[in-house]
Amino acid sequence: MLRTWISRIRGAVFGRRMEQEFASEMETHLALLENELVRRGMARDRARREARRQFGGVAQARELRNVLERASRTACLWRDGLWTLKRAVLNTDTILVLFRYSRRG
């Protein structure tokens, strides 16, 4: 759980930098694939196009990463909310306080 919170804080604080790192990593993979194709005898322009084709859609990869990140955050929020509710219900002091306030109304 601590690792999840650290990851969330890191994402909130360094989100833009993490996105730049992701983009840089994808460009590095594309360059490596392009260089491999050139080494095998393909022309540089054709190798660049072929590398992008083999690698897949860069925009789709970014969008998929964003969707998975949002889904992960949503799942974590639900899990944390349920955990908090469970703790509140199991905590007898909380139950007594809620009972007292409900009788005042």
pLDDT tens figures, 44-78:
999 988 888 887 777 777 777 777 777 777 877 78
Indicate the pTM of the whole model. Answer: 0.48
Query: 12: pLDDT confidence band, cut at 50, 70 and 90?
Result: low
The single residue listed with the structure tokens 């789709």 is 60
Q: For 85, list phi and psi in degrees, rounded to 5.
A: -60, -45
Same domain, 50 and 82: no
Same domain, 51 and 19: yes
Q: Decide if 25 is inside a domain.
A: yes
Chain mean pLDDT for the chain: 79
Distant-in-sequence, close-in-space partners of 65: CB < 8 Å, separation ≥ 6? 22
- Residue 40 belongs to domain spanning: 1-56
Q: Decide if 83 is inside a domain.
A: yes
pLDDT tens figures, 70-93:
777 787 778 887 887 777 777 777
d(CA 63, CA 66): 5
CA 19 to chain centre: 10
